[in-house]
Chains A and B, each alone.
Chain A
Amino acid sequence: MLYNKSAVYIGIVILVILLTSPFWVGLFGHNYTSTGITTPKDQATCIENADFMRAQHMRLLNEWRDKALRDETRTYVATDGKKWEISLQNTCMRCHTNYKSFCEKCHLSNSVSPYCWTCHIIPTEGK
């Protein structure tokens, strides 16, 4: 026999809904099966390989920022020996011209909002 039946039932229902909420919000929202970004077609590779860029581009940018502003070295030597000018706007955004369908697209769906663009200029389409 259950004591305080109604309170217990309400408690159990609330608990179960809360605990399974990831499934509910998943089912009611959209699915997310691919990042849906467009990588530049006219270029073959990024600065480092794609796996590294996907996971570590924010750390690379951090490293770049430190290099440029603290050590005053404005060239970055990639692991394959290629030299790149350290610049958020002039290097990254020269290839990834479409901010909306590349950086922002991926960031929005992963809830990342880089605050860089309060100072740096967001490249607009067509540039």
Chain B
Amino acid sequence: MLESLLVVLLIGAIAWVGSYMGLTILFGVILPYVAVCVFVIGLVRRMVYWAKSPVPFAIPTTGGQERSLDFIKHDKLDCPNTKWGVVVRMFLEVCCFRSLFRNTHAVSFEQDPVSKGPRLVYYSSKWLWFFSLLFHYCFFIVFLRHFRFFMEPVPCCISFIEAVDGFLQIGSPRFFLTGGLLLVAILFLLCRRIFDQRLRYISLINDYFPLFLLLGIVLSGLCLRYFDKAEIAQVKIFIMSLTHFSPVVSNLDLNAMFIVHLTLVCTLLIYFPFSKLVHMPGIFFSPTRNLPTNTREVRHINPWNPPKQFFTYPEYEDRYREAMAQAGLPLEKQPNQKPAE
């Protein structure tokens, strides 16, 4: 946990120092291009790798009653048996995190009046569902809001999102709700790992690192908006020059915090295809979610079964006809009878 915090701080510090050493070309131009290439190629490579992996068994998650006899109620949402049903379930999973909604929290009682002894009780626990949903949606909106840096003129849908996001009209520049909520959600996800004993026991550096990295990105972003302000118009000129493949850095005055923010984002992009964060395209490739539960209707053939060597009965008889005739076994065709003259 501490290591990953240190790594994130180190990356930030390197970018900070780099921006003062005039390495803006390195951190502001070369790194973003490299990061985007690694991100896109890495994800495509990962998807091709998944698409190449055979699925030996039908292993869809069954969250309800599979389709069976007519008088048994089929749970269409949680146990779809058609492609269309799978699409619906996948859509709801991606947009509402329905499987997290089923999350439970186990509590063990030493002395319980019901069982008159130790007892394990599973309580419904919606916190993880709530905060991950909050996190993903806020992150998505924050991401969309950044399109004001990529587009000229800015389309009205982006301005609309900003108007709704800042409807509280607190302060100037206006406080955007999603930025604050994103911070809250990440802090919850982090605290969950740190303070839940059981979760902490199974958490590894590759669980903490993305969280600290995202925390760093969010904090530096908030800082750029509300405290150590970047000159937004200059940043836009710079970003637009990058997306037009004619980067200008010389006459722009980019602040160090902006370079830190950009470097952390690039780190995220580079890290993304090699980490657990690839669940973004990954969910569509997981056989537990993309297969219909029609195991009683359709036989699933293991694609890596070797080609079968068939030896049919006529072939068998052809090979052993003489021996079988001698042993007096019944034959479909008798061995070369002498043609009657």
B244 close to A110 (CB less than 8 A): no
Question: How many A residues face the partner with a CB closer than 8 A?
Answer: 43
Q: A12-B44, A110-B148 are in contact. Are A3 and B231 (CB under 8 A)?
A: no
B51 close to A115 (CB less than 8 A): no
Residues of B contacting A26 with CB < 8 Å?
A: 150-151, 240, 243-244
B281 close to A31 (CB less than 8 A): no
Minimum-distance CB pairs A-B, first 7: A26-B243, A111-B148, A111-B154, A62-B172, A22-B150, A8-B51, A32-B152
In Å, the complex CA distance between A42 and B131 comes to 55
A54 close to B154 (CB less than 8 A): no
A19 close to B39 (CB less than 8 A): yes
A25 close to B233 (CB less than 8 A): no
Q: A8-B51, A111-B158, A113-B159 are in contact. Are A54 and B233 (CB under 8 A)?
A: yes
Q: A11-B284, A26-B243, A27-B243 are in contact. Are A110 and B154 (CB under 8 A)?
A: yes
Contact code string B212-253 (vs A, CB < 8 Å = 1, else 0): 000000000000000001111110110011011000100001
B6 at the interface (CB under 8 A from A): no
Nearest CB on B from A34, distance (A): 7
B229 close to A20 (CB less than 8 A): no
Nearest CB on B from A127, distance (A): 24
A-side interface mostly: helix
Residues of B contacting A111 with CB < 8 Å?
A: 148, 154, 158-159, 162
Nearest CB on B from A28, distance (A): 9
Residues of A contacting B39 with CB < 8 Å?
A: 19
B55 at the interface (CB under 8 A from A): yes
B68 at the interface (CB under 8 A from A): no
Residues of B contacting A25 with CB < 8 Å?
A: 147, 150-151
Nearest CB on B from A7, distance (A): 9
Q: Which positions in A face B, CB cutoff 8 Å?
A: 1-5, 8, 11-12, 15-16, 19-23, 25-27, 29-35, 51, 54-56, 58-59, 61-62, 65, 106, 108-115
Residues of A contacting B150 with CB < 8 Å?
A: 21-22, 25-26
In Å, the complex CA distance between A110 and B53 comes to 46
Q: A12-B44, A111-B159 are in contact. Are A51 and B253 (CB under 8 A)?
A: yes
Nearest CB on B from A26, distance (A): 3
**Residue of A15, A35, A58, A110 touching B44 (CB-CB under 8 A):** A15
In Å, the complex CA distance between A61 and B42 comes to 46
In Å, the complex CA distance between A5 and B50 comes to 12
Contact code string B163-184 (vs A, CB < 8 Å = 1, else 0): 1000001011110000000000
In Å, the complex CA distance between A12 and B42 comes to 12
**Residue of A31, A55, A110, A114 touching B229 (CB-CB under 8 A):** A55
